[in-house]
Amino acid sequence: MLNSNQKNQSQVIKQKPLSEIIAEELRKRIWNREFDFGQRLIESDLALQMDISRSSLREAFQILEHEKLVINKSRKGTFLNNFTENDMEEITEVRLMLEVPALIQAAENLRPEDSKYLENLLDLMKRNLDHNDWYELFNNEMEFHRYLVNLCNNSRIREIYSNLLVQIRTFFTLLKDYYVQNKESFYTEHKELLEAIQTKDKDIVEKAAQHHIKLLLTNRL
């Protein structure tokens, strides 16, 4: 018999359109590097492999195209977006504009229970690193940033940031090769950011947030 949480999860799954479920599976495959960036996604092969209709797959492609994960080239097909250094720089620039003021406000609004939740996420990330679970590591890293931004008072920052999450998550995937060689730095960078936010000092938070976001681009380059 399902407990209440399982029933709720089951209801959410039933309510999700098939195209969104397919899009989620494709995102997971992209973030697990099962496709190469820039690779053509063969519609007939994927539909057969996933046991879905090509029309449902096309709807999922439209979702991913809106998120800028894939691009559709006329008479050529659908391709996984090939993120360039310019894309990474633009994402970093937008993150600096959105996250730095958001984290300053988050520090002002931070409650003990928020700190505890974020510290638990850090512990999860440490375990992910110990087990080389990069997929869950970057998911938890994304949740760490999402949670902090959602503590700010500006609803439009929260909304814009939410729309950018898929691209940011993809950016983290591209950092894997660096962090495989520098595991400890991943944990340290996030621990230092949280400690800065916990001071609730605006200048400390602003400096730490800028350093943290720029460091991700430096590591990529």
Residues 93 and 74 in one domain: no
Residues 74 and 99 in one domain: no
Residues 216 and 172 in one domain: yes
Please identify, among 32, 61, 80, the residue that sits at the C-terminal boundary of a domain. 80
> SS3 for the chain, per residue?
CCCHHHHHHHHHHHHCCHHHHHHHHHHHHHHCCCCCCCCEECHHHHHHHHCCCHHHHHHHHHHHHHCCCEEEECCCEEEECCCCHHHHHHHHHHHHHHHHHHHHHHHHHCCHHHHHHHHHHHHHHHHHHHCCCHHHHHHHHHHHHHHHHCCCCCHHHHHHHHHHHHHHHHHHHHCHHHHHHCHHHHHHHHHHHHHHHHHCCHHHHHHHHHHHHHHHHHHHC
Which has more confidence, 112 or 177? 112
Output the pLDDT for position 167. 92
Output the pLDDT for position 1. 46
Residues 108 and 205 in one domain: yes
Region 191-205 average pLDDT: 98
Please identify, among 29, 64, 80, the residue that sits at the C-terminal boundary of a domain. 80
* Domain of residue 21, residue span: 4-80
Output the pLDDT for position 176. 81
| Cα separation values, 194 from 111, 155, 203, Å | 13, 22, 14
Question: In which band, very low, low, confident or very high, does the pLDDT at 8 lie, cut at 50, 70 and 90?
Answer: low
Residues 48 and 135 in one domain: no
Region 23-31 average pLDDT: 95
pLDDT digits over 91-138, tens only? 999 999 999 999 999 999 999 999 999 999 999 999 999 999 999 999
pLDDT at 187 > cutoff 60: yes
Region 56-61 average pLDDT: 96
Torsion on CA atoms 192, 94, 125, 115, rounded to nearest 10: 60
Q: What's the structural domain count of the chain?
A: 2
Please identify, among 45, 64, 80, the residue that sits at the C-terminal boundary of a domain. 80
CATH of the domain at 215: 1.20.120.530
Region 195-215 average pLDDT: 96
Question: In which band, very low, low, confident or very high, does the pLDDT at 219 lie, cut at 50, 70 and 90?
Answer: low
The percentage of the chain sitting over the pLDDT mark of 70, rounded to a whole number, equals 92
Over its C-alpha atoms, the chain yields an Rg (Å, rounded) of 19
Q: Are 169 and 138 in contact (CB under 8 A)?
A: yes
**Interior angle at CA 119, CA 113 and CA 125, nearest 5:** 140
Output the pLDDT for position 158. 97
Residues 96 and 173 in one domain: yes
Residues 94 and 183 in one domain: yes
User: What residues are paired with 10 via a beta bridge?
Assistant: none
Residue among 169, 190, 53 nearest 125 (CA): 190
CATH of the domain at 69: 1.10.10.10
Residues 172 and 67 in one domain: no
Region 141-168 average pLDDT: 96
Which has more confidence, 9 or 110? 110
Phi and psi at 34, nearest 5°, equal: -80, -15
pLDDT at 16 > cutoff 90: no
Residues 60 and 93 in one domain: no
Output the pLDDT for position 2. 42
| Cα separation values, 123 from 24, 88, 146, 151, Å | 26, 28, 17, 20
pLDDT digits over 68-96, tens only? 999 999 889 999 998 888 988 999 999 99
Output the pLDDT for position 74. 87
